Amino acid sequence: MSSARDSERGKLFSRRAALLGIGQAGLTLALAGRMYYLQVIEAERYGILADENRISLRLLPPPRGLILDRYGREMAVNRQNFRALVVREQTPDLAQTLDALGMIIALSDKDKTRIRREVERRRAFMPVNVRENLTWEEMAQIQINAPDLPGVIIDEGLTRFYPYGEGGAQVLGYVSGVSEKELTGEAILELPGFRIGKAGVEKVYDLALRGKGGNSKVEVNALGRVIRELERKEGIPGIDLTLTLDLDLQQYTVERIGDESAAVVVMDVHTGEILVMTSTPSFDPNAFNRGLTNEEWSALINNDRAPLRNKCISAQFAPGSTFKLMVAIAALEAGVVTPEQTVYCQGFVDLGSHRFHCWKKHGHGSVNLVEAIQHSCDVYFYEIARRVGIDRIADVARRFGLGSPLNIDLPNEVAGLIPDHAWKRKFNGQAWLPGETLNAGIGQGYVLATPLQLAVMTARVANGGLAVKPRLTREDVTGSGLKPVGDPAFASVGVNPKSIALVRRGMFEVVNNPIGTAHRAGFDVNGQRMAGKTGTSQVRRITMKERETGVLKNDALPWKERDHALFVAFAPYDAPRYAMCVVVEHGGGGSAVAAPIASDIMKEILRRDLSQTHSTPPAPEVET
């Protein structure tokens, strides 16, 4: 009985053992199959994944392209940038280290708070930026005191630098860090410290100047710590952009303007190249690269003279008497006046119950067109503006570049305003009034223009009526790089050359006739002389007392209530090459303030004899 029971138990154990063995064999086979799958079939895939965990591909920022003037002089460059970094795991006491570092370089409490916050967010071995743009002396002092600064290291890179500071800052613009709204998914934009163009040429041509990023393959351990660099591929530098500006003339213009709030544009009347574009006061673009303090930013944006604005393209002024050139051409083209025909100026003209005054209290007497330009007689232009009408004046003004953007390669260009009947109806639903035509006839009322537009207007007068367009770069920037610009061919504005020649003759008399409004600005540089037109743009209504006394005391008024001073000019008169506009914001009279500035700048240009570098023939003088 007992033996039978034992035999039964032996059989049960044998079956269980067999089942267990089969199960173990199955598991072993499954494990072997899985290992075969992973190690043989998927070996290449997992090898790649292992390499990806071991090898880290890191982006390298490319050198930003340089910005050069027309002669290759550097206006925006890259210079050596020393940065102080701190590594937390190498710093026993971060606060003590920062205090010691603060004895060498300036570190505010705000800086220290930022550094501690970044250190807490990052892994212990990751470096955190303490301060950029260290001077050579600061870098050397940190290196010398390294034993007392555990965890502080010096990193070297490139940073944007503008050698001439405020000179031409509104044209060049500046670079600064990438904001969240500027992230486009491009990986390079997320690099710490990477900067992009935020204003001026730096912004317009940012993609071309930025270049293409490189990369570095480094071996890292499981924690992400760099062990060694395996491979390095440098990025493609951005293009070097050559502007049409003349750096020396730009600097001279800034110095000549001095402390005035002003805008000056000088351009080639045949090619459209901008030689000078100056807006003052200005700002230091290097400050944006290093980072502005709250106080610095507040001082810039609260300055009444708007240093951040490029007044040449972003400020619009009533052109005053400079607009009389357009009124004269419109009247000649419409046939409502002849060169010899005169208008009698007694110092005012009445229209209904309103009296329109001439700037000269007792008038100019009988004047023809050339004399009216020479004396800037308001009554003459009231009369011919009334005869020709606002629509024909507007048509001529627009042909000469006023009333719409000129599409210069800069952001924030405004359009100005050349009004007419249709505009007035659209603007406020009212009809155009006859008195508004008279105001427009002397460049007041609704008429507005930028200094660049007035320079282009003058250039088109100087070159005989060709619709020259302004340009700021010497090559066209395309997706594939730079494309040379050929000789420009500009269409005619569609005005009789005799009409333009008469206006040019009047401009000559303004400067070179002893009784011209700007005769003190006249000069003779090796037989080369200038022609021009003064303008004074009112920003307030003149009182009867001021008219009676004949004295308009701008200097006694608050700055914002003073007249704007304007002057447009071209030279040489016999073979025009350069056109200019000078606007001194709230500067007073055009003849007293703007004309002398223009005269000095034009003399400097002619002394340099820049015309030798051009081959375009001068516009022919038409006999009248």
Pinpoint the alpha helices (H) of 245-320: 247-257, 286-290, 294-301, 311-314
C-beta separation of 459 from 500 below 8 A = no
Pinpoint the alpha helices (H) of 400-535: 421-428, 434-441, 451-462, 497-512
Peptide bond into 484 cis (omega under 30): no
3 state DSSP class of 13: helix
Pinpoint the alpha helices (H) of 496-553: 497-512, 544-549
Pinpoint the alpha helices (H) of 258-366: 286-290, 294-301, 311-314, 324-334
The phi, psi pair for 403, rounded to 5°, reads 90, 0
CA of 458: how far to CAs of 121, 251, 468, in Å?
Answer: 60, 23, 10
CA of 238: how far to CAs of 58, 76, 120, 156, 411, in Å?
Answer: 19, 13, 36, 20, 20
Peptide bond into 572 cis (omega under 30): yes
Amino acid identity of 235?
G
Give the Cα-Cα-Cα angle 247, 588, 355 (nearest 5 degrees): 135
Burial of 304 (0-12, 13-18, 19+ CB in 10 A): exposed
* 492 among known catalytic residues: no
Distance CA 399, CA 475 (A): 26
C-beta separation of 533 from 568 below 8 A = yes
Q: Which two tokens stand for residue 188?
A: 């390079």
Residue among 376, 56, 106 at smallest CA distance from 231: 56
Please report how the helices 324-334 and 390-399 are oriented relative to each other, as an axis angle in degrees rounded to 10: 110
Contacts of 437 (CB under 8 A, 6+ apart): 385, 386, 389, 390, 393
Q: Which of 321, 376, 537, 599 is catalytic?
A: 321
Bridge-partner residues for 228, per DSSP?
219
Residue among 280, 275, 283 at smallest CA distance from 254: 280
Distance in Å from the first CA to the final CA of the chain: 149
- Which positions are annotated as active-site residues? 321
